[in-house]
């Protein structure tokens, strides 16, 4: 942490309603100590060194991420969800050694740091979860991570004994929840109802209730075939079944929720369950369009997530903001639907609520010092009539030059300071070669 203090100046987007055009953010230790006009902040903290960026924003929260799928970027294009998952992505996950899992997680976290995601709710895999926890802790990301549980109808190498899955989850909770100065917390993570028994799902609730601050993170109602499978087995629709086994509530994050009926939406609203909207993934897998406007109208907290590199194929949060708004406008045939301000909230303070971190998601005195600085020295940033519009509709992760988490600088002037980025990319590329599709064109070749 930067114990001596630092003053960051530029156009400060403190939240969706507050922009200070010649502003500054003063950081001391892990906390923001002042936000306001640059002249005033510098006068209050004259001994703090100043660093200037064109635009300063709160760190973005990835409300549903699969960091360890990073080695599979591009291996399963043009496939429907269940085929994509069971024919391509799960076999890849099952084959990963501990060393490969570490490389995949590091690659995912590196991309987040480089593109402005400072907090993630991360859905790992069945095995070698320790590797991702250690990688997140060492690279400085803030995260709510969880080992995946799969105890039925799962591929070889991933299917577990129920009691062993729950026991391993509890071991990881005890080891990592609140670790790395409370930057890293735990989410109990059953993959989804299709691959988890009732015993596993109810056990997830039991563990979350036993440990203060532990959350639950799973997929729900992403695809119509998934819903039909759950209904055939349980007699209930997906969200209804999750509610029956205890997997709704303020401590629960459900990714996707594309296909929900009236009763399921009532359950989400009544229980305070969080929903993560993953528009790029939903479009690429042709899963459908999540009813985000209806969720927001009901007071349901909606976060924003990239999902995984094999179904996105990027963890760029600014690209996701753009997709999130445009898709809803097309669905509603209404250009006023989910404006930039609402999307920015999904990506910041709403995501922080879903992750369970207080004092996070805004640049505000007394709040956690997660700050991102962007350059506007690109043609698509000329002119900027409205900085919120620019951030949501024109900015990209490549514009990020500065990334701070808990007062620690992870990236400065476009260079990651907490790891050797080139080494991470090189190791990951080497491990990923085994997953290259046989019919993939060779780079540089021509007919």
Residue 83 reports pLDDT greater than 90: no
How many Å apart are CA 371 and CA 250, to the nearest integer? 26
Question: What predicted TM-score, i.e. pTM, was given to this entire model?
Answer: 0.95
Label residues 190-226 b or e (16+ Cβ within 10 Å = b): bbbbbbbbeebbebbbebbeebeebbbbbbbbbbeeb
Q: Categorize the per-residue pLDDT at 247 as very low, low, confident or very high, splitting at 50, 70 and 90.
A: very high
Residue 343 reports pLDDT greater than 80: yes
| Percent over 90 (pLDDT), the chain | 88
How many Å apart are CA 14 and CA 36, to the nearest integer? 9
> What are the sequence ranges of the domains in the chain?
2-59+367-416, 60-355
Mean pLDDT, the chain, integer: 95
Residue 442 reports pLDDT greater than 60: no
**Could you report the per-residue pLDDT of 257-316, keeping only the tens digit for each?**
999 999 999 999 999 999 999 999 999 999 999 999 999 999 999 999 999 998 889 999
Average pLDDT of span 356-378 = 98
pLDDT at 1: 53
CATH class of 60-355: alpha beta
Average pLDDT of span 47-51 = 97
Residue 76 reports pLDDT greater than 80: no
Neighbours of 433 (CB within 10 A): 8
Label residues 51-75 b or e (16+ Cβ within 10 Å = b): bebbbbbbbbbbbbbbbbbbbbbeb
Average pLDDT of span 58-87 = 87
Tokens representing residue 20 in the block: 């200070």
**Could you report the per-residue pLDDT of 123-151, keeping only the tens digit for each?**
999 999 999 999 999 999 999 999 999 99
Tokens representing residue 274 in the block: 């969080």
Tell me if the domain spanning 2-59+367-416 has CATH number 2.40.30.110. no
Residue 3 reports pLDDT greater than 70: no
């Amino acid at each position: 942490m930067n114990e001596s203090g630092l003053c960051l100046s530029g156009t400060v987007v403190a939240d969706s309603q507050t922009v200070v055009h010649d502003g500054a953010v003063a950081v001391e230790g892990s906390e923001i100590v002042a936000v306001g006009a640059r002249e005033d902040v510098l006068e209050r903290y004259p001994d703090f060194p100043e660093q200037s960026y064109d635009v300063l924003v709160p760190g973005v929260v990835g409300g549903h991420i699969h960091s360890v799928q990073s080695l599979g970027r591009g291996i399963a294009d043009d496939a429907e969800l269940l085929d994509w998952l069971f024919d391509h992505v799960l076999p890849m996950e099952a084959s990963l050694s501990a060393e490969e899992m570490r490389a995949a997680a590091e690659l995912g976290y590196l991309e987040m740091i480089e593109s402005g995601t400072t907090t993630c709710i991360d859905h790992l895999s069945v095995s070698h979860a320790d590797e991702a926890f250690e990688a997140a802790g060492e690279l400085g990301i803030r995260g709510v991570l969880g080992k995946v549980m799969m105890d039925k109808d799962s591929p070889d190498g991933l299917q577990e004994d129920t009691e062993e899955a729950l026991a391993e989850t509890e071991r990881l909770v005890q080891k990592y929840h609140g670790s790395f100065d409370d930057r890293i917390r735990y989410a109990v993570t059953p993959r989804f109802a299709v691959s988890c028994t009732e015993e596993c799902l109810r056990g997830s609730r039991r563990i979350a209730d036993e440990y203060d601050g532990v959350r639950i993170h799973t997929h729900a109602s992403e695809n119509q075939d998934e819903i039909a499978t759950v209904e055939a087995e349980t007699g209930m629709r997906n969200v209804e079944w999750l509610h029956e086994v205890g997997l709704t509530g303020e401590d629960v994050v459900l990714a996707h929720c594309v296909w929900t009926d009236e009763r399921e939406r009532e359950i989400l609203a009544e229980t305070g369950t969080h929903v993560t909207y993953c528009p790029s993934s939903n479009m690429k897998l042709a899963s459908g369009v999540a009813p985000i406007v209806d969720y927001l109208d009901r007071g349901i907290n909606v976060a924003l997530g990239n999902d995984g590199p094999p179904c996105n194929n990027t963890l760029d949060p600014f690209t996701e903001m753009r997709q999130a708004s445009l898709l809803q406008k097309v669905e509603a045939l209404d250009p006023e639907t989910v404006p930039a301000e609402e999307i920015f909230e999904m990506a910041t303070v709403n995501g922080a609520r879903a992750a369970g971190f207080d004092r996070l998601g805004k640049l505000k005195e007394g709040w956690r010092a997660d700050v991102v600085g962007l350059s506007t020295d690109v043609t698509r940033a000329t002119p900027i009539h409205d900085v919120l519009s620019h951030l949501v509709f024109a900015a990209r992760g490549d514009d990020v030059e500065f990334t701070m988490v808990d007062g620690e600088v992870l990236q400065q002037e476009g260079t990651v300071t907490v790891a050797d980025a080139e080494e991470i990319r090189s190791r990951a590329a080497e491990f990923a070669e085994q997953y290259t599709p046989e019919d993939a064109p060779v780079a540089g070749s021509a007919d």
